[in-house]
Structure 1
Amino acid sequence: MPARATTPDALPAPLADGGSGPLQEGLAELRIRGLGAIDDVTLELGTGLTVVTGETGAGKTMVVTGLTLLFGGRADPGRVRANGRAGVEGRLLLPPDSPVWQRAADAGADPDEDGSLILARTVSAEGRSRAFLGGRAVPVGVVAELAENLLAVHGQTDQLRLSRPAEQRRALDRYAGPAHLASLERYREAHERWRTASAELDRRRTQARELAQAADVLRHGLEEIAAASPEPGEDDALATQVKRLGDADALRAAADEARMALVGDVTGDLGAEEAPQDATAALAIAGRALSSSDDPTLVLLSQDLADAVAVVSDVAGQLAGYVADLDADPARLAEVQERRSLITGLVRKYAEPGEGLAGVLAWAADAERRLSELDVSDEALDRLAAIRDEARADVDRLGAEISAGRRAAAEGFAAEVGKELAGLAMKSARVSFSVDSHPDDPGPEGIDQVALLLAAHPGAPARPVHKGASGGELSRVMLAIEVVFAGADPVPVMVFDEVDAGVGGQAAGEIGRRLARLARRHQVVVVTHLAQVAAFADTHLVVDKSPDTGAGVTATDIRAVEGEDRVRELARMLSGLADSDTGQAHARELLVVAADARA
């Protein structure tokens, strides 16, 4: 795929559409602006192995620097060009089930229109840095967190994963296999139970007096609430009862008046002249007038009136029942008011403003839970100690099992890495693991301190790998480990910065072969100065540095080469002369050898 220069006004800005090709997961595009010697270029990256080559000092490592910066690396203002601002932007393609999507959504990021995820980072000459994810400004730490599942950079000065003992232990655990990892997960759960129970037991023992006092307060509140036995919604019901009892006379008068208007004086207390005409009588007169006709419309209307009489009679009956149930007893009113006062007191003491009786009941439920945590009785402490001891027994048993698994895996792992190193110009190097167990001090990842050791040559002592290897050796050790784990590492993008330093001849070809093997399952980007490595590339990018214009400013361009252009670049790497017939013949031979090896 071609690399093309762009001239955006500012970053972050949208990348050009397309460019992903057959890539299913990884970095589809990378744009770098104002970084080191690079003015403004956009690279379209494909699947497989991409190599970056160019003259010394042209700015090849700025590609790696840009990637590192994009994924949360340290911002170095010294890399920013004179225009005062540098920016890197990338387009990520991710499968729907990638955990990156959930973390991005948590940060407020949105996918782009084509379903990709856009990352961006800007750095000013003063050192101010900003990160963007899916169109949203985010803390740099969020992008760095995503990078743990996306990118692994292995270079002369960036061997963080390999130098950390925790990463070395994780590598050994992965090599030990799924059953070992399942045991490790059970160990973590047991360790958490043991740690939690131990801390809680210590807390209760050292704070027994304070906890007992707090428990007394909770217990008193629970007893007060239990004595009142409030029911959910009782406060609202009592308020309704108080209003009804207080207004009983007025309510009775209103109900009687309404009932009389509907059905008349059913008690006979009023004379015929005093009683008003009621609704049922009026409806009956109207019904009789209509029923005497045989007109179909009037007959239907008379039936509607009959239904109305039934409804009115039913309402009158309900009013009579309401009046009969209406209690005007002052003693009952006082009783309800007293109960309401009791409930109101509980609400005032135990509920937040506006919560009402529901807040009292919620406080009681929470108090029951907290009271169980404050129990400092001998029985409670004995139960907690039993839980602690049972969890510690699981920790000891599983810790020993995991330690044995690590020791068994260490020999095979070291042997396989050693075989790979033999083909990487490190035949005499010996890799081993130190597994130092501390069963009396179990940690969250087991009882072992794991260290990857390297003896770089015969007679050299085995030392921690980041101390016993040079930059180039460290890169090759990391490459050997990645090859051993090819297909198992979940990181989709791997970057290697001059892992071939100090290597030549057949060993250089072996490095290319191993990188191509990694690229079957990962997107691999390699900065290299060796034609034997570059010949294995699926995509070959060349970094060109323009001559000084006289203003003291140089610029770098990055272009993709194919066909004869690629042959010329390989010839330049081999002999220093792009137009050398011998160099070009050798370059073509390298391409054929690499193609055969890949096939």
Structure 2
Amino acid sequence: MAARTTTPERVPAATTDRDHAGLGQLTELRIRGLGAIDDVTLEFGSGLTVVTGETGAGKTMVVTGLTLLFGGRADPGRVRANGRAGVEGRMLLPADSAAWERAADAGADPDDDGSLILSRTVSAEGRSRAYLGGRSVPVGVIAELAEGLLAVHGQTDQMRLSRPAEQRRALDRYAGAAHLELLDRYRAAFQRWRQLAADLERRHTQARELAQAADVLRHGLAEIGAVQPEPGEDEALAAQVKRLSDADALRAAADEARMALIGDVTGDLAGGDVPQDATASLATAERALAGSDDPALVLLAQDLADAVAVVSDVAGQLAGYVADLDADPARLAEVMDRRAAITALVRKYAGAGEGLAGVLAWAEDAEQRLAELDVSDEALAALTAERDAARTEVDDLARHLSAGRTAAAEGFASEVARELAGLAMKSARVSFSIESHPEDPGPEGADDVTLLLAAHPGAPARPVHRGASGGELSRVMLAIEVVFAGADPVPVMVFDEVDAGVGGQAAGEIGRRLARLASDHQVVVVTHLAQVAAFADTHLVVDKSPDAGAGVTATDIRAVAGEDRVRELARMLSGLADSDTGQAHARELLAVAADARG
């Protein structure tokens, strides 16, 4: 497709009196160069937003853009011929949102209005970049944020939920926060048990090799223990060696400095020419100024008196320094021997440039490794007991998990069945099969969980993906999603043609349920059903139009209201936007939806 240069079209949101700022909401989405979309900016309001349009117009590009923005896989095949696609979104989040905390950790800054701006670009070669609050970040950071901000429900999710492992996860989510906390404890206990079992097996099968490795470590620890070096001792010894080696020169320098400051206090120079020392000179100058009547000179005299005190103090410190100097050759030899012993350890057990710190780190690591290499009877017995205790904990937690799943299954099945009753499946029965295998627990517990469906009276309960037709499966999965979504803490929920294969009264019930969700969440729905679209607070229409200059198809998105919305619903109902019958039906749908929402 050829690119078109246009001014981004801004599609405004409808005004609604509902506000979901407590959770947060997406206020704006800009899509550039993605699929058939050239450049369009959508403004979202709170409540329910529906996206409609003819088949092939590009409705799902809105969902694709949202998925890409929040860390989804970048498909270069979606990039238009201009070579780069981009998606940018603006979210308003409460100040105490966990998403803000994570964004701040990544270096993100809020925009002038306090919103968080996310953006993503994808090249035709598949290269992708992500930005959060004006900072370039790994795509994984955006994807991590998405877990708490966005939930996408689509036909892919229906296929995913048909798998038993996903059904088990769904049941765990439904069971609530306490159950999920128990599941986390189980996972940690299971991992610990498996690690202990693997460690015990390793020690049994590799006893000889481990014993040899342990001997090497013990020899090294014995060498280090014989020297018993202290942290930083190598540097301290180097300083001592220097002082002891240079003791005579250091003493001469200190004595000369002290003489210059305070003169010969020992009287050794009596009768000779005594040089003027610093304190005497300063005292003479101080007396000369102190007798003056000029205030400025008096102040300077005080400064000189302070200087005399400082010089005397330095001289005293120099005297103490000289007294402490040790020029004992025996002490020097002792320090040199100690330094040589530590240097030998450094050469053998420390890495390049690590010094004594590397030796001490090696010793600490060796102590830990010895505990892992111990193949003595006592160590193996202790490890066996630890492994068995861990397995006992796993079994106990697995039993509690099974009980929690069994208790939750009845309530979950009942809620799904209640939703199905409103979706023209009043006789359908939903249940869970929970088979426990305590002798062979897995990472998620000891249960095999399967969602069963009996579509009509007398029908056997079968796994849901085998016991339902295409239309029934869509309704079952939508019912499951509605049950989950009501308790989902994410602020933005997206439903991508989950109403496929549904019509008639059930379609209206789908719209009613999505509108109910929109009282607590911001809900975006891609739909082909007028009965669903009639419940929208904001109605966006995707139009495709031929680009005469390039001979290709381009997509625009516009918000509709009033008579334009009636015409769009009529088109969805009859295929003819100007049909009087279709428009009358459309107005009837809008009235029914308004009454249903109160």
Q: TM-score, normalised by structure 2?
A: 0.85
Partner of 1:194: 193
Cα distance in 2 for residues equivalent to 1:18 and 1:52: 13
Q: What displacement does 1:521 show?
A: 1.8
Q: Deviations over 1:541-574 (max 9, x none)?
A: 2233336859643333322111222223223333
Instruction: Provide, for residues 524-553 of structure 1, a one-character-per-residue CA deviation record: whole Å limited to 9, x for no partner.
Output: 222333322221111112233336859643
| 1:217-266 deviation digits (Å, cap 9, x = unpaired) | 22222222222222333323322222222223333333333444444445
1:3 is matched with none
CA shift in 2, pair 1:464/1:331, >3 Å: same
CA-to-aligned-CA distance 1:336-375 (integer Å, 9 cap, x gap): 2222212222222233333333333333333333333333
**Displacement of 1:79 after TM fit?**
5.3
CA contact (8 A) 2:69 2:87 kept: yes
Aligned-partner SS, 1:501: coil
Instruction: Confirm or deny: 8 A CA contact 1:578 1:584 kept in the other structure.
Output: yes
Judging changes above 3 Å, is the alpha-carbon distance between structure 1 residues 109 and 166 closer, same or farther for their aligned structure 2 residues?
Answer: farther
**Structure 2 residue 429 is matched with structure 1 residue 430:** yes
Equivalent residue, structure 1, for 2:209: 210
2-side partners of 1:548 and 1:180: how far apart?
A: 56
Answering whether residue 119 of structure 2 is matched by residue 116 of structure 1, we say no
CA contact (8 A) 1:568 1:578 kept: yes
- Alignment-derived partner of residue 409 in structure 1: 408
Distance 1:454 1:33, change over 3 A: farther
Residue in 2 that maps onto 1:29? 28
AA in 1 matched with 2:451: L
Q: Measured at CA, do residues 320 and 20 of structure 1 come closer, stay the same or move farther in structure 2, by a change above 3 Å?
A: farther
Question: Is 2:338 aligned against 1:373?
Answer: no
Could you say which residue in structure 2 is the equivalent of 1:176? 175
1:364 maps to 2:363: yes
Aligned residues: 589
Matches within 5 A, 1:66-85: 66-73=65-72
- Tell me, in whole angstroms, the C-alpha distance in 1 between the residues paired with 2:403 and 2:273: 106
Name the structure 1 match of 2:338.
Answer: 339
d(CA) in 1 for partners of 2:207, 2:286? 85
Q: Secondary structure at the match of 1:42?
A: strand
Q: Please give the alpha-carbon distance, in whole angstroms, between the structure 1 residues aligned to 2:319 and 2:119.
A: 76
Cα pair 2:475 2:499 within 8 Å, conserved: yes
**Aligned partners of 1:131 and 1:143 also within 8 Å:** no
Superposition pairs for residues 308-323 of structure 1, below 5 Å? 312-323=311-322
Q: How does 1:535-554 map to 2 (within 5 A)?
A: 535-546=534-545, 549=548, 552-554=551-553
Unaligned 5+ segments in structure 2 are: none
1:396 paired with 2:402, answer: no
Q: Distance in 2 between matches of 1:308 and 1:33?
A: 76
CA pair 123-523 structure 1, distance change in 2 beyond 3 A: farther
Contact 2:465 2:473 in 1 (8 A): yes
Q: Tell me the distance in 1 between the aligned counterparts of 2:300 and 2:33.
A: 90
| Helix, strand or coil at the partner of 1:445 | coil
SS at match of 1:536: coil
User: What pairs up with 1:233-252 in 2 under 5 angstroms?
Assistant: 233-252=232-251
Q: Cα deviation per residue 1:72-121 (whole Å; 9 max; x = unaligned)?
A: 55556665556666554433444445454566567666555542232334
**AA aligned opposite 2:341:** L
Distance apart, 1:326 and its partner CA: 3.1
User: 2:116 is aligned with what amino acid?
Assistant: S
Q: Secondary structure at the match of 2:433?
A: strand
- Give the Cα–Cα distance (whole angstroms) in 1 for the partners of residues 298 and 549 of structure 2: 110
Q: CA deviation at 1:165?
A: 3.1
Q: Secondary structure at the match of 1:442?
A: coil
1:89-488 paired onto structure 2 within 5 Å? 89-101=88-100, 111-114=110-113, 115-122=115-122, 124=124, 128=126, 130-134=128-132, 143-144=142-143, 146-270=145-269, 272-273=271-272, 275-279=274-278, 312-458=311-457, 460-488=459-487
Shift of 1:303: 6.8
Gaps in structure 1 of 5+ consecutive residues: 1-5
1:557 alignment counterpart: 556
SS of the residue 2:450 aligns to: strand
- The Cα of 1:451 is off from its aligned counterpart by 2.0
What is the distance in 2 between the residues matched to 1:503 and 1:552? 36
Q: Distance in 1 between matches of 2:140 and 2:531?
A: 38
Do 2:54 and 2:543's aligned partners in 1 also have CA atoms closer than 8 Å? yes
